[in-house]
Structure 1
Amino acid sequence: IGITSIEVTPQGHIITGGRDRTLRVHQGDGSHTGTLTEPNSEVTDIMGDSNGLVHAITKDGLYLAYNSSDWNISHSMTPSPPGELVSLHDIDAERIALGGAVGLVHLMNRSTGITEQTLNQGNGEVVGILGEGDALVVLMSFASSSDIMLFDIDTDGDGVVDSVDAFPLDSTQNTDRDGDGYGDSVNGNNSDRFPDDSTQWVDQDNDGYGDNPNGTNPDIFPQNSDQHKDTDGDGYGDASYGQDGDKYPTDATQWADRDGDGYGDNLEGNSPDACPDMGGQSFEDRLGCPDMDADGWSDEGDYFPDEPTQWADTDMDGYGDAQQGYRGDACVNQAGTSTRYLLYDSAEDRVKTVSTYGCPDSDEDGYADESEAYWDADNCPGSLVGNATEWLDEDRDCLGSNTDYDDREFNVQTIEDYCERDKNELIQDTTCLKLNQPVYTPINETNSEADSNDFSAQILSFAPYGAGIAIAMMVLIGILGMLGRRVTDKSSKEDEYVQKGATKEIETGSIEQVGGIIEDDAWGEDVAALLDMSDSSSKEEVDDTTSKGKSRSVTESVEDESSESSDEDVDDGSGEWQDGEQGWQVYDGTTSDSEDEAAASEAPVTEEAAAPTEAPPLPEGGLPPGWTTDQWKWYGHEWLEKNGGQ
C-alpha cells in the first residue's frame, strides 16, 4: 500500500494515507470504518481538528476537507499557483497552512477552504510551519541546507500585515482608533461615523448624532434628520420647527400649538387651549381664546368685550362689577339705572354730586334711591324717592331743593318767607322792595258815589263842547288803533320769544324766567304803569324775580309759558342764545328798531282797527285813578282781566 502519512484525530479516529490514492479510517480498537477514494494522487499529509474536520493534501496539489461525522467532503480545492503540497500546519482557530515543495505557503480558512494569503519567499521544500501570533515561522529544507523563515502575515492583502491590521480579514479597513470594532475608513465596510467615540458608530439620518441609544449624545429619532433629542420624553423632538417638533420641549403633556398662541392643543395637558384653532391671549375664564380688549377675559365670556376695565355684570343691569373700572356698578347684586349720588362735603360745606352707576332708581331721575332716602325728611319719608322732579332736601322741610326757595334754611320755602325773616337786614334788597310795594286799594263806596255824581254833572255842563272834542278824539282813536295793533303784534312776538327760549333752555338743561310787558312807543309808560298797579301784576313780578337768582322748575316753566304763547305768530328763528346770569342761556328773539321799521314798511297795509262800540263796564269804585275815558274804552278790559273784574 505504501503508507505515507498517519493521523489520530481529536475524535479518536485513526486515518492513514499512502501511494494508493486512498484514505483509510479505523476506530481506536483497530476496526475498519471505511475507505475514502477522492484523493487524485499520493496522499502526502493528514490533519484532524477540534471542529470535526479531517484535512488532507496530495502530491498533485489537491486540498480536501472531510466531516468526521459522516465522512462526506466539506470542501476541496487546488490552491494557486498549483504545485506539490507536502505538509499541513495548524495556525490558529480560523486558519491552517499548506506547505509546498517549492517554497509556497497557502493560508486557508479552515471552515470555508478559501485561500486567504499565499506566501512565496523561497524555493525549498516546506517541512514545518509554526504559527506565532500574527507571524509564521517556516522551516524550509534544501538539498544541501535548511532555512528558517519568519513571515508577517497580511491575510486580507490590504498592504497592512495582520499584526497591525485591526481588520486582517477586511481589505477595506485596517484601523479602529476608538476600538469599537468599526473601521475608521469612511468608504470601507462597516465604517465608523464616529471614529473617536467608542459609544457611537452609525448615523442613519446623517444628522451628526449616533444611533446607539446608550451612547454619547444618542439620536432618539434615527430616521428623522430634523430631530435627535426629546427632553420631556413625549415622543416629539425638541426642535420645535422640525418634523415632529415639540412646541413645548420641557412639558411632557403638550407638544402642539396649531394657532401659535402659546397654549397647547392637548386638552388633557397643562394649560390647554380652549380655542385651539383661533389664536387668543385670554387667561382669566379660559385659555387661548380671542380677547379683543386684552383684559384677560375671552370675548365669549366677557360681558363687555370692548371695554378693558370691565368684564362681568352680576345683576345684568349694564354696569360692570369692577367698581374701579369704567362706570363701575356701585350695587353689584342689585340691578339699577342710577348714575348719580348726592354727598355732603364738610370741607366745602356743600352737597356734591358724584357718579354712582347701577343702583336702584325707582323714579328714574338718575339719582340712586339710597341717596334720595338719605335726604328724605324723617317726618315725610318718600318725598324724594319716587319723585322724579326732586332728589335733594338739605333742610329736611319736606320741600325739595328744586321748589324750595332756600333749601338750606328750614323755615324758608318761599320768597315771602325769605323777606319776612330778614326784613330788617334786607331793607335794601330790591327783590323784597318790589314784594312790599303798596297794593292798589279801591276808593270807599261813599266817596266813590259822590265823585261819580259830581263827574256826571260836569259832563252835562260840558256837553256843548263835547261834539268838537269827539271829532278830534275819533281821529286820535284811529291813530291809536294802528299803534295799538303794533303793540299787540310785538306782544305776540315777545310771547313767542319766551316760549322758544324756555324750550331751548329745557333742552340744554338750564331754565331762567324771561318776559314781561313791552314798552309801547305811543303810550309810553302810562298804560304799562296803570296795568302794573294791580295785585296780580305785582305778584307775578315777584314770582319771576328773585334776589338769589333762583329759577322755576322745568315742569312749571314749560306749562306757564306754553299757556301764554301765541298760536298765530311764530318766531322766525333769527334770534340767538346769549349768556345770562349764573350760567343760564337766554334766547334773544327781539329785533332792533331799524328791523321793526323795515318790517313795518314791507308789511301790507291793513284796515285800521275799528273803535270799540262801547267801553267795558267800570269797576265798583269807578274809573281807576289816572285813567282817561278813552284809555278805559280801549284798555279797560285788560285792567279787569288782571284785577279779576273788580
Structure 2
Amino acid sequence: MKRSLALMLVSLLCLQATSIGMVQGSLSLLTDGGQTDELDRPLVLWSVLNDGKVLTVDNTGNVSVNALTQGILSAQSTVFLDVDVNNARIDDAQELVTVAHDTGVLVVQMSTQTLFRNITTPDPVDDAAWDPQGELWLVYYAGKRRADEYNSEGPTGAQTSTFGSGISAFEVLDDGRLAIASYDTKIYIEDNAGNPLTTLTDSNSIVSKLKATSSDTLLAGTNGGTALKYNSDTWASQSVNLPHTKQTTYLQSHGNDMFVVGAKQGKVSFINATSFTEERTFTASGDIIGILPEFTGQFYAVGITPTETKVRYFDLDSDGDGVNDLADAFPLDVTQSSDIDGDGYGDNQDGLNPDAFKFDETQWADQDGDGYGDNPVGNDSDLFPTNEDQWQDADGDGYGDNRDGQDGDQFPSESTQWADQDLDGYGDNPLGFKPDGCPTVNAFSTNDRYGCPDSDLDGFSDPDENWTIEDGADALPKVGSQWIDGDGDGYGDASDGEQPDACPWEFGRSTKAVSISVSVTKGYLEIQSFGCLDEDGDGWVDRTESPLMDIDPTEHFDGDGDGVGSNSDYDDSRGNIQTEQDHCLNDKNDTSEACMGWNDPAYQAYQATLGNETGLAFNAWNTSKDDKAGGQTALSVDEDTLNQVIMVGIIAFVALTGVILAAAYIINKRKVSKTTKEYGGVDPSLSSSASREALEGRGGLSAGGGIVSDSSWDDDVEQLNFEVEPDGFADLDIKEDGPVGEVEAITYEEESIEAIAGMPVPQSAEEATQSPPDEAPPLPDGGLPDGWTMDQWRWYGKEWLAKYGKN
C-alpha cells in the first residue's frame, strides 16, 4: 500500500509540467470525490502560497499557515488576532496579510508571524488592499461609502469618490488604478488619487466580486450568475451567463487558458479564457472562497457556511470501482476501496486481503470470532483465544473482563473483587476493596458501609438489626440532607441540611424561635429553629419566648411586658391595654363602632341581657333603637313586648272569666242554700215579687230577694250540697197581686258581670229614688235573726215579725 502511494506521488510530480495542457481535457473525467476535511468555523481567506502551503484566515482573526495532505488541513503556525473579520487579503509578495474588521485593519507579517501594523478607525472597514506603491486602501462599503489611502504614517488624504449607493466590491489594478463596484450595478474606475476615469455599465445586476488577474484583465462576477471580463486598457468586455443564478463569491485564473468562478451553494464553474465560455460547472458545498488545482486536473473546492468550512475534492477513478482515487485506498484493486485503519487490509470482507478489524491497524485476524484480534502484540489481543466469551483480564485475577461471559469478572479493574451476586457494584469478597455490607441486597450506600439500603440516598445506610445508628447508620433515613442526630430529637446535626438542629446538644421539639426586631410592627420575626427546648409544646424555643410564655402553649411573645401574650393582648405595645374594652375606655377619641359600643351604657345593658345569644353590633343596635323610637311615645313599648303583653292579657282574661263564672255558680248555689237557711224556706220564685215590691216602694218581705247578711260573706265556703234544704222562709205565706209565675233563676240572663262577681251594681235613677222605712221594727227577744243585718231588718223585719210574731 505504501509503495503504491509513493508511486502515485512520483507520478503526480512528473505530470506537473504538463498539467496545464491537461486541465481542459480532464474536466470531463472528474467526479465528486467527496468531502475531505471540515473546520468548525468559517474561513474568510483561502490562498495557496508559492511553497504549496495554504494560508487561511478565519472569522475570528486566526491567521494560519497550513499543510494540505490528502485534502486535510493541518495548521503549522497561527497568529491569533481575536477580532470579527470582515475581509482579508495577502499582497502579491505574499509577505503582508491585511485583516479588515469593525474597528480598523490589522496587518500580519508572514515571515515573522507577528502583528506588523494596527490601524484603528471609527468606522467598520470592509476591505483593505495594497496598491503598487505600497499604500493601503481602506474600503468602507457602507458608512463613508468610499476608500481612503493610508501610508506608514497614517491617512494620506487621498480618497475615492463617495458612492451614494454604497460599495459592493473593490480592486486595485496592476497600474494602481482603482475599480469600485457599487450597488447601482456600475463599476467606477478612478486613478490612484481618487479621480474618476470611467464608468462601466455592462452589468445588469450588482457586481459582487472583482479580480485583476493580469496587467490587462479585470474579471467581474455578479449576484445573478453572470461573469464579465474586461480589457483594462480599452475596457472592452465579454460576458457569460453561467448555468445558475447564484452570487459570485470567488474569481481566479486557472492556468493560462481557464478562469474559475466560485459562487454560493457550492457552484464552481470553469470558463475558457479565450472564448469566455463555460466549460463545466461542479457543485461542491457552501459558498466557494477558494480553489486548489492539482497538476493532473483534479481540484479542491473550499466552501463556507455561517458556522463551518468544508473542503471537497473532485478526482479521477482509476480502477473504475466507483470510488475516486483520492478516496480509494486501493485505486488499482477493484475489490477494495477503503482501508480505514491504514493497515493495508481492505475493509471489504468479501474482497482480497480483508481486514477483520478495519478500525484497528494492529489487528486484522480473529480465528475464534469473538471480535478480538489474534495478533498478540496488537491492540486488545485475545488472552482467552479458546473462550469466545472472554478475551481480556485487565486486573490479572484470572477472571475474564466480559462480565456476562463464562468466568466473567464483575470488577475487571479490581483484582480483589470479581463476584457481585446482587449486582449493586460492590464486591462480595469481604476482604476485598469496598466489600458489600449487604451482599444479597441491591443497594447503594457508600459512607458508613457499602451496598446497603439507603432510602434517602445520602450515602448513609438505613439502620437494621445488624447495623445500628451507634455503628454509623443513618439516624434520619428519610431525610437526604441529614444523617446524624446526636441528641435523638429527630432533627439532624448538619447545619446546611433540611430542618437542621439548632440545639444539637439537647433534646428538643421546637420548630421556630422569636427574634426581636424593631423593624416589624409586631416587634419580632419568626425564624426557623428546630430541636431546642419547648416545654409548652407550642413550637417556639423556650429561651426565646417572653417571660412566662414558655409555659403557655397559646402565647410566645409579650411586647409590652404586661404578662399577657400578644395573641391575647389587644395592644401589646402598651402595658395598660390588654383588651378592646381597655383600649376604648382609655381612648375616648376612638370613634370606631367597637369603642362607641363600649362607651354606651345602654348598649352594654343590652349586651348584658343577651346571655349566650349573639346580639346586634353597635351600629345595627343603634339604628334599631332609633327606628323604634320614631314610632312610639315616651310610654310605649317595643312591638315584641306589646305582643307578649297582649298574649298574656288574653290568657289572663280567659282564665279570669272562667274563675268568675265558676265563682258565680258557687255563689248562686250558696245563695239558695243561705236563703233557705236564713228565711225559713221562702220560695225562690217570690224573689221576683219582692223585687217588684221593692221597686214599688212597698218594701214587703218579698223585697228581701235572698239578701244575705254581711256576716255570711265572711263564712267559710261550705261543702257544696246540691240537695234542697229547708230555709227560713218555707212557712211564710207570701202572696203576690197576680198569679205566681214560673220559678225564675236568681241570676237573670241580663244580669251584669258586676252582679255575678258580687260587685256593687250601679242603680238606675228609679231605684235611687227608693228609701228605706223611716224606722226599723222592734227586734225579737233573741235579737236579729241569724244572718240578718239591721238594714235588712229595717226593710223586711216587719214581715218576719208577722210570720213568726212572737218573741
Q: TM-score range by the shorter chain?
A: 0.3 to 0.5
Q: Compare relative contact order (CA 8 Å, sep 6+) and give the higher one, 1 or 2.
A: 2
**TM-score (ref. length: structure 2):** 0.27
Q: Which has the higher strand share?
A: 2
